[in-house]
Amino acid sequence: MIALLLSLTLCAAPAVEAPDTGAPPDPCTEPLGWRVAEVDPRFGLDAAEAEAAVQAAARLWNEAAGQELFVHDPDDGFDIVFHWDERHARIQDWLPRRRALDAEVEALGRDRAGLEELRADLNLFQVEHERRLETLDRRWDAHAERLAHWEERRPIPADVQRQLDSEAEELERERQSLNRDAQRLNDQVALVNRETAALNHRIEALNRSRAEVERDSPLGSIRSGFYRETHRTLGRWSLSVTREIFIYQFDDLPHLEKILAHELGHALGLEHTDEPGSLMHELHVTGPGVSLEEAQLRLTAADLALLREACPDLPAFR
């Protein structure tokens, strides 16, 4: 399998430190309300689908905490904005080509395996055909010897003649059967040769397509989501906290849920982990080379450790 991987950067804006005096909202004790404020129609996603994706991402944290950390609040919740720009357009233009390339790689693998199986069957058939030919040759030689023996002792008894004639007819039938099998074998060999040539042409075309896809691929670090938090203060008092999540790029709905869950983690005050593959790691790798486990929406031990550190009194940690 060709592994074309994208490293997607999931970011959080540096938060302004709240002063010690005052009582800013605590997401560990008060659920954070959210709402989908804007979905650019070019994403091909309607508001209901966007909200369902946020619900799935929020549910991940709520279940891990043993209480609601996030609730849907269409009136006063913090904004989640699906902002279209060249990042999503570039990825979406490239993804169908990558997926078509993946599909052709898998199809070629299946066809090559089928061709190898057919070739192996032909080899067995050819070995059996040669064995039958050798056996027939020996039987013809034995028949010729018996016939010569009785030719020297003419007249040949009637029962012996019938036996010799029957044996000759049986040997002739076997010869004709072997000739038919030889023709079928030759036809199958020709078919395998044609299929092999066609497969080689497809592999050459695949290699050209792979070079083009890799040449045009937007590989590297691409910002898919961004969390921004702003504190409004008066002297040493924290008056309010404004939270916003921006979504810039996603491959599909499962990928979107993962990006949203990452940014919601930042809304809880969680930083990035150093563990690759964890939800709160700075980079998420996407593409056909990613394992099923890595693609799943899940919290790792490193993610849960961050949540426990930020919110030690949650029911799940008591």
Q: Domains of the chain: which residue ranges?
A: 32-84+222-300+307-317, 99-216
Strands of the sheet containing 6-12, edge to edge, are: 70-72, 32-39, 78-82, 237-247, 221-234, 6-12, 283-286
Helix or strand (DSSP H, E) at 81: strand 78-82
**Which fold, 32-84+222-300+307-317?**
Collagenase (Catalytic Domain) (3.40.390)
Structure tokens at 27: 């997401």
Q: Give the least confident one: 83-87, 100-104, 162-166, 220-224.
A: 220-224
Q: Is 299 helix (H, G, I), strand (E, B) or coil?
A: coil
Say what the pLDDT of residue 20 is. Answer: 43
pLDDT for 167 beyond 70: yes
Residue 236: phi, psi to the nearest 5? Answer: -95, 5
Say what the pLDDT of residue 19 is. Answer: 42
pLDDT digits (tens, 9 = 90+) for 61-118: 999 999 999 999 999 999 999 998 776 677 777 778 888 888 999 999 999 999 999 9
pLDDT digits (tens, 9 = 90+) for 176-216: 999 999 999 999 999 999 999 999 999 999 999 888 887 77
pLDDT digits (tens, 9 = 90+) for 251-302: 889 989 999 999 999 999 999 999 988 999 988 766 555 555 566 789 999 9
Average pLDDT in the chain: 85
The CA distances from residue 81 to 84, 291, 300, in Å, are 9, 29, 27
